[in-house]
Chains A and B, each alone.
Chain A
Amino acid sequence: MAQEEPQIINVQEAAEILGVSPTTIRRWAQERKIEGKQSRKSGEWLFTEEALQAIGSMTPSSNGLANREEVHLEKGQHKEQSLQLINASSYDFLAGGGEMGERIRTTDWSKTPLGPVETWPQSLRTIVRIMLTSRQPIWIGWGPELIKLYNDAYKTIVGGKHPWALGRPASEVWHEIWDSVGPRLQIALEQNEGTYDESLLLIMERYGYPEETYYTFSYSPVPGDHGGVEGIICANTDDTQRIIGERQVKLLRTLAAESSDARTIEDACRLSVRSLGFNTHDIPFAMLYLLDHDKQVATLVETAGIEKEHPAVPATVALDASSSWPFATAFSTQKDCLVSDLEKWFDDLPTGAWELSPHQAIALPIAPSGQAGKAGMLVVGLNPYRLFDEGYQGFLNLVAGQIAASLANAQAYEDERKRAEALAEIDRAKTLFFSNVSHELRTPLTLILGSIEETLANRDGLSLEQRERSEIQYRNSLRLLRLVNTLLDFSRIEAGKVQAFYKQTDLASLTADLASNFRSTVEKAGMQLIVDCPPLKSPVYVDQPMWEKIVLNLLSNAFKYTLEGKITVTLRQNRSTVELKVSDTGVGIPEEELPRMFERFHRVRGTEGRTHEGTGIGLSLVHELVKLHGGTIGVTSKLGKGSTFTVTLPLGITHLPEGQFSTDATLSSTSLGAQTYVEEALWLLAGQEATAQLLPDLALSTEGHQSLPQHENESVQKARILFADDNADMRAYVGRLLRQHYEVQTVPDGLAALAAIKQNHPDLVLTDVMMPKMDGFELLQKLRSDPETRTLPVILLSARAGEEAKSEGMEAGADDYLIKPFSVRELLARVGTHLQMARLRKEAEDEVKAERQRLRDLFMQAPAYIAVLRGPDHIFELANPLYMKVVGAHREIVGKSLRDALPELVGQGFAQLLDRVYQTGEPFTVNESLAQLDRNGNGTLEDVYFNFVYQPSRDARGNVDGVLVYAVDVTEQVKTRQLIQESEARFRTLADNIPNLAWMAQPDGWIYWYNSRWYDYTGTRPEQMRGHGWQAVHHPDVLPEVLAYWSHSLKTGEPFEMVFPLRGADGNYRPFLTRTVAIRDETGKIVQWFGTNTDITKQKQLEQQKDEFIGIASHELKTPVTSIKGYTQLLERHFRKAGDQRSSDLLKKMDVQINKLTNLIGDLLDSTRIESGKLLFHLSSFDYNDLVSEVVEDIQRTTVKHTIAPQLAPSVTIYADRDRIGQVLTNLFTNAIKYSPNAKDILVRTEIKDGNIITSIQDFGIGIPKEKQPYVFERFFRVEGETQITYPGLGLGLYISSEFVKRHQGSIWVESKEDEGTTISFSLPLEQGPVERNS
């Protein structure tokens, strides 16, 4: 066997032996890694066995070769055994490796370019082993096509492409990012160089949408068994969450830092939104809107990443369904609202950091802080490469929360600034209040005076004594009227509405006459009145009514302050002036007070703080009146000795304005006195108040027909009404009214009513409250406890006025409550309404039954856990299949109570919650509530987290009769909650920068952080304050209230707003306005509380002053009312005794008017507290055009310059507070006149639209700058003239008007152009909607 020929092996065979691909063999041959010869003919390589053995020994394991030898040498003897060996050893490296190990093992690799597993080269086997045992995401690409192998950890990276990706070429799997990764793989493969990339952005498409991802990864070339790069191995780190998280945190931090400097809402908006522009990845574009005060429209304030002029950015968005942005939904639910398919709506949306514009946007409501806070709406275009998942949503909610906090902060600043401005305006505000109020007071006063006059006119029938009484009464009424007129005069002077008309006057006689009016009073008080007014030589021109006011005020003032001695009135002529002196021997005025005597509302302090000092405007009025005469007023005084007031007027006419004086000597001068003073006052009154307005009831009773709701057709059977009242006249009267429309039965007491109801089954019961035998309440209670009459509508009638009486009636179960006296129209309207409601109720009951069945069907198929519990014991009436599954399908629960059906829940609090929902009728929502359920019936409790709602279900009458349980399983989501908790750190940054005291608390109220200002002010240390330590700086008297209120907020999540004192480092308490808002996560759950405390010492003092003033004013008004009332009653008694029924009736009517007046004084107090929202409304139905015409007539009388041109729609009847709406109109007209000094016309239009009556008042005056328009309805807003003209007014008119309109469920708005004019419009609903009585 010498010289045995060497065996020649071709490429195929060599590949087989070495276990590599034929391509590799050829490359090795070219690279001379393997020795071989190339055939000249075919160009194919040929190798010797020796050469192959050489290369085989070089590779770490030369199994292929050895095996081949074995086969070769032993010729099949052990073939089977050998194959088994091959298999065993070749699958070793695939052991374990989880799912992917299993998949790789079971894949038939022979059908892939990798070939059967046993043929895989050792290097591949090694790296596969590494891969399968690694917990880092790793993939391997092998062969020229880079066939993909990967491990379990990598599965999340291929995502939706798993397991399809296994065994596919890498270029196919990652075709969407091949541009990025292809070249890198090429470097690894061809240049045998590793690559490394950190956090590379890759837009992957793993779940059917392109997705932003960041990976740190390396491609390492892997040599085959014979050298040369055969594949790559890639280790990955997923950075997506980190990158996104970091940039989100960065944005939140920027947002907090930037917006903390904001001092105005606008600033806060601008700075916040500008910060949003720093993260164009997550926020490609954003726009922020603020909601108008009346919540009707949202106005754009700022954008980021998008032009303000872009079609997708409307300047305003109406809060109704009409807008392309879903503000209405987002606002009403207070939840964010997603808008999809943006490209369908808008072209050319900005793309932010991306190449693609957002497909989706989200509208996020910005919660307002406290009552006065601004609500907003943030619209954010969403990253097109990111799923809008909980994390993204959570982030945006944090952004919205941050902006809300910034706005709240800015609001606090603005409020403070406005309060400071308000200080300057406050006395004007008072003036306006009095103007409003005086008008209202004068109405009943007129009626009173009218009655007395009527009595006095009939003086022949009166005894001397009666006449005296009437006259006293008359005088007192006049006194009251004078007081009211003073207030009115004052406010008119303030408003510049008073024009004096100067007449040549015998001033001496006039003054003497006026003064003598006081003689009897002064002498009665045991004092002396000296009147020294010799005739004057030169003519004096005065406005007589004004002069009377001057003299009478000074005299009454002197009288007030003088308890003994004398009062002296002197009139003297000097060279060019006339001088009036009123001196007294009274208490005098402290020296330091003298300079302030003529300031408005100034009252002398120090002597005795008592009501005697009056409203403090008398002297101020005198001062104004004297000024109108070109004169001066002065005072000298000595404490304890007395005071002298000196009025000096110029003689002649040279100082008077042209056209306002008359040189005709007036004849009336000598006869001027108290009587003419009265007549003048009456004339004034009669001239300004339309008489129709004074007698609303008379006017109404004639048109009662029109006001009937169109619910009953005459041909239909008449509804039947039972009326119970013990007063026979009342029965006759109301019975007659009702019989025009209904069948009426009347009974004299509750017992009779009950019997009649049982027998006749009326459709409605109208009953008096106070009745013999059985009163209205008892009757009501009897009716309500009988199932047969449980739903019978009952209207109570009572003479007891007031909200308490009314709510008492409603609580007792009455459907309505009418207060005597009521208008015919109101009675008919209410009766009609309730009859109709009763009919609808019955229809609804049937509907409810059908609805229940439909719901039941729906529930059974719903993809949530649903059960219906009936009755107070929570008996399962229904449980859908999913519910059964979650509580354990083995149970039978329907028909059982909760306690019996799910006994393991006892003690877990669910029964108590259900009780509460059942009792209060308020739905209850709980998130992430833990329930421990025995689902398998073996006593083992399993933890399940639910979000659930307990929704009360109601019967047709609206009474709760069960609870609907609706729950979803959130066990998984509970884990994700940690994300949200990170947010609190971000809020701290913000809060540390604000000027108020600020703090943060856990949802349960445990305070864990204060800003440094808190510690500065209180002088405390963190360890003292932590948790509930804050109680130490509270005043012990107030603390219980604070705690009660705070725990209420904690329980309900309602914002906390309260003023309470806090002790400073100096030991003194100062009042702080504290506002707290709940910060919520995207599910609405409170994650923490954020609170601020603002020092309001100044405001407090101001408020106190005001309250004091109001108290005094009301006392001054009530005193004369008391005596008028007394006289009236006394007189009435006399007439009654004397048998003069007519006069007695008149006086009774008058007593009613006095009561009205008393109520009005009460209203005055209420309306001055408009800020605290205590407005009372007196609703009635009335003809709207009548009202407009009346007001126009009134206003027209006050202006000669302007002509008011009405264009009124056909009249309608509205149900509203006539006086208040009249006041709104008056305010708007007054404004129109005031702000159009150079125009002639004022237009008023009414129009009926969408069930509203819209009234527009247009002037052609100075207009309102656009940027100021949003604020015109805010308190103390005033329009500034350009040319230094200041316009009088205090900025309360529009505020009050808008408040009135809003309380009527209406809206008010302004359109204006500078120098062209302003149109203010308001709409009122036509239907008789419920009007807020209080708020």
Chain B
Amino acid sequence: MEGSKKRVLIADDDPAILDVLTLFLEEVGYEVESTINPETIGEFSTGYPDLMILDIWMSGWNGLDICRTLKGQATTRQLPIILFSAKKEAEELAYEAGADDFIAKPFNLDDMLDKVERFFKDS
């Protein structure tokens, strides 16, 4: 793992949440790309990330739809996706859409880290 930092892509319509997650994940050793504009997700102009963390209800775009689309394409099916939302009830929807994990807002950073690290344990 050393030498090639894992890349995490975060999308949320709240800049503060993006900011704090970016700071945190960078601090613990990830390369973070964040976007407030989810429409560009799926273009992967900078290559595929190792993990995506998507808000479910984003402006103009629905994390569930993105997740469903990515999980439905052969090229992106393997991409791990964590969905998060302020609605606890959304958890079920998240799994239905094919998400690999879900976390409810507000969350503890340590919990978030646990969930992120779980995807890189084996590699």
**Chain A interface residues toward B at CB < 8 A:** 469, 472, 476, 521, 524-526, 560, 563, 587, 608, 610-612, 1111, 1114-1115, 1118-1127, 1129-1130, 1133, 1154, 1158
Contact = CB atoms under 8 A, between A and B. Distances in A.
Contacts of B60: 563, 587, 608, 610, 612
Q: In the complex, which of the residues A1111, A1115, A1158 has the most CB atoms of chain B within 10 Å of its own CB atom?
A: A1115
Given A610-B60, A1114-B86, A1119 B105 contact: yes
Contact of A612 (B27, B59, B86, B106): B59
Given A563-B37, A612-B60, A1129 B109 contact: yes
Given A1123-B16, A1124-B106, A1158-B106, 4 more contacts: A476-B16, A611-B57, A1120-B14, A1129-B24
Contacts of A469: 23
Contact of B106 (A563, A608, A1122): A1122
Contacts of A612: 13, 57, 59-60
Contact of A1122 (B87, B105, B110): B105
Contacts, number: 81
A495 to B, nearest CB: 29
B106 A610 contact: no
A1124 B107 CA distance: 10
A1119 B17 contact: yes
B106 A1127 contact: no
B15 interface: yes
A524 B16 contact: no
B79 interface: no
Nearest to A611: B57
Interface in B9-46: 13-17, 19-21, 23-24, 27, 36-37
Given A608-B60, A610-B62, A524 B15 contact: yes
B41 to A, nearest CB: 14
A957 B115 CA distance: 46
B75 interface: no
Contact of A1120 (B16, B23, B57, B87): B16
Contacts of A1119: 14, 17, 86, 105
Given A563-B37, A1114-B86, A1115-B86, A1122 B57 contact: no
A518 to B, nearest CB: 12
Given A608-B60, A1158-B106, A1126 B15 contact: no
B108 interface: yes
Contacts of B109: 1126, 1129-1130, 1133
Given A563-B60, A1114-B86, A1118-B86, A525 B36 contact: yes
Nearest to B104: A1118
A1039 to B, nearest CB: 23
A608 B57 CA distance: 11
A990 to B, nearest CB: 43
A560 B14 CA distance: 11
A393 to B, nearest CB: 53
A1126 B24 contact: yes
Contacts of B15: 521, 524-525
A1111 B24 contact: no
A468 B13 CA distance: 21
A1119 B19 CA distance: 13
The contact size tier of chain B is: 20 to 34
Contact of B20 (A611, A1118, A1126): A1126
Contacts of A476: 16
A1115 to B, nearest CB: 4
A1130 B105 contact: no
A1115 B86 CA distance: 5
A1161 to B, nearest CB: 9
Interface in B76-123: 85-87, 105-110
A524 B15 CA distance: 9
17 contacts: A472-B16, A472-B19, A560-B59, A563-B59, A563-B60, A610-B58, A1114-B86, A1119-B14, A1119-B17, A1119-B86, A1120-B14, A1123-B19, A1125-B106, A1126-B17, A1129-B110, A1130-B109, A1133-B27
Nearest to B105: A1122
A1130 B85 CA distance: 20
Contacts of A1118: 86, 105-106
Q: What is the predominant secondary structure among interface residues of chain B facing chain A? A: mixed
Nearest to A1155: B106
Nearest to B85: A1115
Closest 7 CB pairs of A and B: A1126-B20, A1123-B16, A1118-B86, A1122-B106, A1122-B105, A1115-B86, A612-B59
B17 A1123 contact: yes
Residue among A521, A610, A1154 with max Cβ neighbours from chain B (10 Å): A610
Contacts of B27: 1130, 1133
A1115 B16 contact: no
A610 B61 CA distance: 9
Nearest to B37: A563
Contacts of A525: 15, 36
A873 to B, nearest CB: 47
B113 to A, nearest CB: 10
Contacts of B110: 1129
A476 B87 CA distance: 20
Nearest to A1121: B106
Nearest to A1129: B109
Contacts of B36: 525
A588 to B, nearest CB: 13
Contacts of A608: 60
A1173 to B, nearest CB: 20
A1158 B62 CA distance: 24
Contacts of A1124: 106
Given A610-B59, A610-B62, A1129-B109, A1122 B23 contact: no
A808 B60 CA distance: 43
A1106 to B, nearest CB: 16
Contacts of A587: 60
Contacts of A610: 57-60, 62
A1123 B13 CA distance: 12
Contacts of A1111: 87
A403 to B, nearest CB: 44
A347 B4 CA distance: 102
Contacts of A1122: 14, 17, 86, 105-107
Contact of A1154 (B19, B21, B86, B106): B106
A1126 B60 CA distance: 25
B24 A1123 contact: no
Scoring B16, B21, B27 by chain A CB atoms within 10 A of each residue's CB, the highest score goes to B16
Nearest to A1116: B86
B14 A1126 contact: no
A1118 B19 CA distance: 16
Nearest to B59: A612
B59 A1123 contact: no
Contacts of A521: 15
A469 B15 CA distance: 14
A84 B37 CA distance: 130
Interface centre among B19, B58, B62, B107 (most CB of A within 10 A): B19
B37 to A, nearest CB: 7
B34 to A, nearest CB: 12
A1130 B86 contact: no
A802 to B, nearest CB: 13
B59 A1115 contact: no
Contact of A1130 (B13, B23, B62, B87): B23
Contacts of B58: 610
A526 B37 CA distance: 10
B20 A1123 contact: yes
Nearest to A526: B37
A572 B24 CA distance: 45
Contacts of B85: 1115
A1119 B14 CA distance: 8
A1129 B14 contact: no
Contacts of A1121: 105-106
A1123 B60 CA distance: 21
B97 to A, nearest CB: 16
